[in-house]
Amino acid sequence: MSDEPRQSASHRYTAALANEIEPRWQARWAELGIDRQPNPGEAGFDASRPKFYCLDMFPYPSGAGLHVGHPEGYTATDIICRYKRMSGFNVLHPMGWDAFGLPAEQYAIQTGVHPAITTREAIDNFRRQLRRFGFCYDWSREFGTIDEGYYRWTQWVFLRLYKSWYDPEAEPRDATVRSPGRARPIAELEAEFASGARPVRFNPLAAEVADALKARTYESWDELDAGARRDVLDSYRLAYLGEQTVNWCPKLGTALANEEVIDGKSERGGFPVFRRPLRQWMLRITAYGDRLLADLEGLDWPESTLTQQREWIGRSEGAEIDFGLPEAPMGVGAAALRVYTTRPDTIFGATYMVVAPEHPLVDAVLKDDGAPGGLREYVEWARNRSDVERQESKDKTGCDTGLRAVNPATGERIPVWTSDYVLMGYGSGAIMAVPAHDQRDFEFAEKFGLPIQDVVYPKPLLAASRYFKRRPNAGEKWRAELSDVLSMVTSENTEPRDFDSIIERARVRSAGDETAPVTPVAEEWLGLLDGLAGDDAGGDGARDVIERGRVHRARGEAFAGDGRLWHSANAGISLNGLAVPEAKRQIVGWLESEGLGQKKVQFRLRDWLFSRQRYWGEPFPIVFDEAGRHHAVSDDALPVTLPEMTDYTPEESDEPKPLLAKAGAWLRTTAGEAGAEGLDPGAGVTRESNTMPGWAGSCWYHLRYTDPGNTDRLASEDAESYWMGRQPDRELGGVDLYVGGAEHAVLHLLYARFWHKTLFDLGHVSTNEPYRKLFHQGLILSHAFQRADKSLVPVDQVEERGEDEFVETATGERVAQIIAKMSKSLKNVVNPDDVIADHGADTFRLYEMYMGPLDQQKPWDTRAIEGMFRFLRDVWRLCIDDATGEPRVADAENGDLEKRLHRTVDKVGGDIERLAFNTAIAAMIEFKNAALSKDGTPTLTADQIDRFVRTLAPFAPHLSEEIWSRLGRFDQRGSVHRQAWPEVDESKLVDDSIEIPVQILGKLRSKVTVPADADKKAMETAALADERIKELIEGKTVRKVIVVPGRLVNLVVG
RNA sequence: GGGCCCGUGGCGGAAUCGGCAGACGCGGCGGAUUUAAAAUCCGCUUCCCGGCGACGGGAGUGGGGGUUCAAGUCCCCCCGGGCCCACCA
């Protein structure tokens, strides 16, 4: 082997060489600090450069280590950051750890090892793996959310929420706020109450405060005692204690997320789970509902994410309506039942009402002796039913409460039922049921035999009638056409967006067959429409339709679409003949004038449940005095650290008991010891023993990176406003590019926006929105195998039998190869460490970027990695002599290659800007293919290698630096990663002459070469002079010539 | 059930603004080199028809229709796949 001639080529690019040069350069870069980015005011900061803040969603460091999905987004941002740095930007590109969380705690329960230990180990492993990729993070800014120096400020932000309220009338801080209102310190509210500048009352926006309390306005602040003042102020806080129904598992001693509850039992252990109201910390995110919605406008975010946020916020406009309860038994206590509806226009069709099983009215009825039989049993069953169960079975269940309400529009007495399809958490927990026009109400009414009353008449039929009227002399053909229209109208439950398109389709269908039969359905509808034709708004014809034409009902559906009202009249008001929007306006106006209801904006968004009964999270900076009142820990006393514990097993209990409640010595202390504000230092206090949820740390980490070591503030004003501030050319400030998975499209991004906005309102940060531009990388998938019954088989239990034939080893059964998510159980997870060992980090980076568009999901193909390795090997061979390891430099410049190089630089730069790394790499491969000589002679001058290597550097930083160094450039000018992006000579991008296609009737027939700047006339002349074209148009008339300068010529011949 | 996204060669994908469909890579086929294989290098590679060949003709971007001189791209309908939300009145 050793005498093999090619063996002398010992300087070839191999995996071994990659694994030698990569760590070597990583160490050298760290030593030189080339990825350090100084802050304003620090040595080495260049104020003349614009800034670029590029943020990756920081990982949760799991024990399993890095997944191939992590480096996908990280490589993309790395390329952009390196490119931006070369293009003259100050680049902030940090990395850290989202390290509080459940998995570490679960592991601690099993092993007794403190979560901090396992988490620190996982962080060290993640850091090692990330560094091996050569990412240009400024590691001097690294932190974890579990660092005391970090979560101290998480607690500090919580206290800002605790000490603030939302003033809907306050002037926004700047014009980027698109909806009124702003958070203000609660001290200002107190001062306004005390001075009489503001009427003293409970917070009208507080969901946790009873309506009766909210209705009252107090004479003066002095009238109230200290306790009452606290109650009033507490109702305004953005962080407050409120009741929320949760899934409570006594055996596990914790509340569970809905996903952790299956069939009413805990996922772990199978213990029973109960829905239980629990008093805990809530954040008043609903106060920001309008702003979180309105400020989405103007963000450069994926449309799908914007949509998801809008839907999650779920703003709807409707009305609150009071239904009288004249015969309610004593003890029910309410004279009216309040409902929320988005369709007040359908009130004439409200034939019964439904309240949630948790509704106070139900409890009131149950206290009464006259409660109907079975009600108690139903309510108990329903209240203990988990959300998961409710979702699994959508069969309607319910029970009559025996109460009767009065429909204010019709004056009729209607029954009040209870059912779990009405949720206590939305609106007022009660609805007016309109079974004719709401699918859920319809199903309920069908099941329990409740009356159904139509009041809205579908518009397509009105449109069809107009169409019919336009053709009074309709013959067979038109009848056929109309029958098609009608069959479409009646066969589709969706409202056609455009009636003309239906007509168009009908015309197309019937065009081929003039005698198309008139179907029985169409016949019926033609009859109905005949009756209707005389009067759109009403009359006997329309009434006939209403009575006979209950098409939707016949199909087992309620008609929920837009349309016109009918049968909607009493002595007080008539909605007959009105379209839905107008009918809504009229009925709400009438209700308001009668004092029976008013317009109401409702959000789907609920306040954020912020307490967890867990250990491994941020402790609340809150203590309770002996009277049970909460008090803030002062800013100076932060952080409140977690107590050491030896046993992480939750306590079995009937009452919710957080894990920290076991830490007796920590739990019970004095106000002085805890640093509590406004209490006698000797007073005994109990610490809040819940911890914050995993989301807390990720709500503001983008701010900390700007100044991670600051001990006085969450970040200095200078650093924060420089990195997060507005750019001269942009309306919005914030992070310039935020890249991460689409799984965070709602919760993380909504929570972070909320915190950021509060900090903005209070003057702690300089922008209204945290993330100006957002991008989601697509999932990286893998192969898996599927049996005929669709069950999946791990890849190690399958063998290949020839072309595309796979069988399960154990059974010999044939299985299909499919694309699936990587998962441990399928044994198809790719380990980044292995890929780097086999090919090097540069190849790995290139491969992941070459797989396809960054935002699409793509299957991992181990074989295709080879292609990227070959590319890098060829680049190496292009620049470095295999035998000597010296650079291969041509003396004279090849003009064609020079042109290509300029185009490549231009294309790659543009592609990076639009995150199209796959095509950028393709362009570089093309250049390599053109430049690589067949005979082994050098083709590129030193200057050309210099520029090409700079172009490749953001993608393959190690190989580029090595070639750069062997070219002598490192010694002369320092690292390739601190060089400028190669300049593009515009004149090199255009050719003198270009080949343009000549089409005849849109079909390519020939090509002609014309000067690049040829005008229309010249192009036309050249095209018509072409031999082939002349031949083809021989004897035909050229009717028209389409010339697109620089692109093509198209001849229209006839 | 609702919303969003996506369907292009054997495979991943390209076509950035309605203007030459299939760039680039993988795989495959043929050849060179080799005692041989691997590796490497060179060539071909959407399909169909004709031609020894240069080449010529036709079809073609899930299916059907429309707009246009021109459609992968825009509009309508249908089919298939994926993701998210899901009793929110």
Q: How do residues A181-202 score in pLDDT, each as one tens digit? A: 999 999 999 999 999 999 999 9
Confidence of residue A493 (pLDDT cuts 50, 70, 90): very low
Using a 7 Å CB cutoff, list residues 407-436 of A near strand B.
Answer: 420-427, 429-431, 434
Judged by C1' against the alpha carbon of A437, the nearest nucleotide is: B89
- How long is the CA A951 to C1' B80 vector, in angstroms? 42
d(CA A840, CA A18): 5
Low-confidence winner among A201-205, A296-300, A439-443, A558-562 (lowest mean pLDDT): A558-562
Residue A839, pLDDT > 60, answer: yes
Residue A549, pLDDT > 50, answer: no
Using a 7 Å CB cutoff, list residues 52-111 of A near strand B.
Answer: none
pLDDT (average), residues A764-780: 93
Q: Helix count (H) and strand count (E) of chain A?
A: 36, 37
CA closest to B81 C1', residue: A819
Q: With a 7 Å cutoff on the CB, does A874 touch strand B?
A: yes
- For A317, phi then psi, to 5°, come to -110, 135
Judged by C1' against the alpha carbon of A603, the nearest nucleotide is: B88
- How long is the CA A1029 to C1' B57 vector, in angstroms? 16
- How long is the CA A858 to C1' B80 vector, in angstroms? 19
Query: What is the bridge-based pairing of β-strands A1048-1053 and A1038-1044?
Result: antiparallel
Protein-contacted positions of strand B (CB under 7 Å):
2-5, 11-16, 19-21, 23-27, 40-42, 57-58, 65-66, 69-71, 75-78, 82-89
HSE value, Cβ hemisphere, 13 Å, CA-based, for A526 = 19
Confidence of residue A700 (pLDDT cuts 50, 70, 90): very high
Judged by C1' against the alpha carbon of A859, the nearest nucleotide is: B12
State residue A476's pLDDT score: 40
Confidence of residue A388 (pLDDT cuts 50, 70, 90): low
Using a 7 Å CB cutoff, list residues 846-865 of A near strand B.
Answer: 850-853, 856-859, 861, 863-864
Q: What is the pTM of this model?
A: 0.89
Question: Identity (one letter) of the amino acid at A565?
Answer: L
- Residue of higher predicted confidence among A535 and A404: A404
- How long is the CA A56 to C1' B64 vector, in angstroms? 45
d(CA A426, CA A338): 12
Confidence of residue A680 (pLDDT cuts 50, 70, 90): very high
Low-confidence winner among A340-344, A496-500, A611-615 (lowest mean pLDDT): A496-500
Q: With a 7 Å cutoff on the CB, does A313 touch strand B?
A: no
Judged by C1' against the alpha carbon of A425, the nearest nucleotide is: B88
- Residue of higher predicted confidence among A582 and A77: A77
Q: What is the pLDDT of residues A732-759, one digit of tens each?
A: 889 999 999 888 888 899 999 999 999 9
Low-confidence winner among A67-81, A182-196, A641-655, A826-840 (lowest mean pLDDT): A641-655
Judged by C1' against the alpha carbon of A929, the nearest nucleotide is: B24
pLDDT (average), residues A641-647: 89
Helix/strand/coil (H/E/C) assignment for every residue in A661-704: HHCHHHHEEEHHHHCECCCCCCCEEEECCCECCCCHHHHCHHHH
Q: Where are the beta strands (DSSP E) in A180-258?
A: 182-185, 200-201, 217-218, 239-249, 254-256
Determine contact, residues A143/A122, Cβ cutoff 8 Å.
no
Q: Where are the beta strands (DSSP E) in A35-83?
A: 51-56
Judged by C1' against the alpha carbon of A1048, the nearest nucleotide is: B19
Determine contact, residues A87/A51, Cβ cutoff 8 Å.
no
Judged by C1' against the alpha carbon of A422, the nearest nucleotide is: B87
Using a 7 Å CB cutoff, list residues 104-163 of A near strand B.
Answer: none
CA closest to B86 C1', residue: A391
Using a 7 Å CB cutoff, list residues 436-465 of A near strand B.
Answer: 438, 440
Q: With a 7 Å cutoff on the CB, does A396 touch strand B?
A: yes
**CA A703 to chain CA mean position, Å:** 20
Residue A866, pLDDT > 80, answer: yes
Determine contact, residues A10/A884, Cβ cutoff 8 Å.
no
Residue A535, pLDDT > 70, answer: no
For A461, A465, A558, A1052, the CA distances from A499, given in Å and listed in that order, are 10, 12, 21, 35
What residues contact A445, with CB distance under 8 A and at least 6 apart? A351, A352, A433, A435, A451, A452
d(CA A302, CA A994): 38
Judged by C1' against the alpha carbon of A433, the nearest nucleotide is: B89
pLDDT (average), residues A115-119: 94
Task: Provide the token pair at A22.
Answer: 């990569």
- How long is the CA A852 to C1' B9 vector, in angstroms? 17
Q: What is the pLDDT of residues A1019-1043, one digit of tens each?
A: 999 888 888 888 888 888 888 899 9
Q: What is the pLDDT of residues A148-174, one digit of tens each?
A: 999 999 999 999 999 999 999 999 999
Q: What is the pLDDT of residues A923-976, one digit of tens each?
A: 999 999 999 887 778 999 999 999 999 999 999 999 999 999 999 999 999 999
d(CA A98, CA A694): 8
State residue A119's pLDDT score: 96
State residue A26's pLDDT score: 98
Confidence of residue A389 (pLDDT cuts 50, 70, 90): low
Using a 7 Å CB cutoff, list residues 254-283 of A near strand B.
Answer: none
d(CA A177, CA A166): 14
Q: CA torsion sign, A481 to A487 to A488 to A494?
A: positive
Q: With a 7 Å cutoff on the CB, does A828 touch strand B?
A: no
Residue A209, pLDDT > 80, answer: yes
Determine contact, residues A295/A179, Cβ cutoff 8 Å.
yes
HSE value, Cβ hemisphere, 13 Å, CA-based, for A527 = 9
Most confident of the ranges A170-179, A792-801, A1001-1010 = A170-179
Low-confidence winner among A226-230, A509-513, A664-668, A892-896 (lowest mean pLDDT): A509-513
d(CA A250, CA A235): 30
Q: What is the pLDDT of residues A76-109, one digit of tens each?
A: 999 999 999 999 999 999 999 999 988 888 888 8
ipTM field: 0.95
Judged by C1' against the alpha carbon of A1001, the nearest nucleotide is: B69
Using a 7 Å CB cutoff, list residues 888-947 of A near strand B.
Answer: 907, 910-911, 914, 916, 918-919, 921-922, 925-926, 929, 932, 934
Residue A219, pLDDT > 60, answer: yes
Determine contact, residues A712/A635, Cβ cutoff 8 Å.
no
State residue A862's pLDDT score: 87
Confidence of residue A555 (pLDDT cuts 50, 70, 90): low
- How long is the CA A309 to C1' B38 vector, in angstroms? 55
Q: With a 7 Å cutoff on the CB, does A314 touch strand B?
A: yes
Using a 7 Å CB cutoff, list residues 722-761 of A near strand B.
Answer: 742-743, 745-746
Helix/strand/coil (H/E/C) assignment for every residue in A103-145: HHHHHHHHHCCCHHHHHHHHHHHHHHHHHHCCCCCCHHHCCEC
- How long is the CA A928 to C1' B15 vector, in angstroms? 21
Q: Which residue has the tokens 């290949």?
A: A800
Using a 7 Å CB cutoff, list residues 981-1040 of A near strand B.
Answer: 995-997, 999, 1001-1005, 1007, 1040
Judged by C1' against the alpha carbon of A426, the nearest nucleotide is: B88
What is the distance in angstroms between the CA of the first residue and the CA of the last residue of chain A?
Answer: 72
Average confidence score pLDDT of chain A: 84
Using a 7 Å CB cutoff, list residues 279-308 of A near strand B.
Answer: 303-304, 307-308
Confidence of residue A902 (pLDDT cuts 50, 70, 90): very high
- How long is the CA A801 to C1' B29 vector, in angstroms? 22
Using a 7 Å CB cutoff, list residues 159-188 of A near strand B.
Answer: none
- How long is the CA A502 to C1' B78 vector, in angstroms? 14
Nearest Cα neighbor of A375 from A417, A414, A415 is A417
Judged by C1' against the alpha carbon of A488, the nearest nucleotide is: B77
- How long is the CA A286 to C1' B81 vector, in angstroms? 37
For A502-538, b where at least 16 C-beta lie within 10 A, e where not — what string? Answer: bbeebeebbeeeeebebeeebeebbebbebbeeebeb
Give the largest CA-CA distance in chain A. Answer: 109
- How long is the CA A804 to C1' B44 vector, in angstroms? 24
- How long is the CA A865 to C1' B43 vector, in angstroms? 24
Judged by C1' against the alpha carbon of A871, the nearest nucleotide is: B25
Determine contact, residues A482/A522, Cβ cutoff 8 Å.
yes
Q: With a 7 Å cutoff on the CB, does A318 touch strand B?
A: yes
Judged by C1' against the alpha carbon of A502, the nearest nucleotide is: B76
Q: With a 7 Å cutoff on the CB, does A1042 touch strand B?
A: yes
Judged by C1' against the alpha carbon of A1047, the nearest nucleotide is: B19
Task: Provide the token pair at A593.
Answer: 């004038």
Q: What is the pLDDT of residues A402-461, one digit of tens each?
A: 999 999 999 999 999 999 999 888 888 899 999 988 888 988 998 999 998 888 766 545
pLDDT (average), residues A977-983: 97
- As a whole-number percent, the residues of chain A with pLDDT over 90 amount to 52
pLDDT (average), residues A871-892: 91
- How long is the CA A1004 to C1' B63 vector, in angstroms? 26
State residue A262's pLDDT score: 54
State residue A803's pLDDT score: 57
Residue A164, classed as helix, strand or coil, is: strand
Confidence of residue A490 (pLDDT cuts 50, 70, 90): very low
Helix/strand/coil (H/E/C) assignment for every residue in A307-373: HHHHHHHCCEEEEEEEEECCCCCCCCCCCEEEEEECCHHHHHHCCEEEECCCCHHHHHHHHCCCCCC
Residue A545, pLDDT > 60, answer: no
- How long is the CA A997 to C1' B61 vector, in angstroms? 21
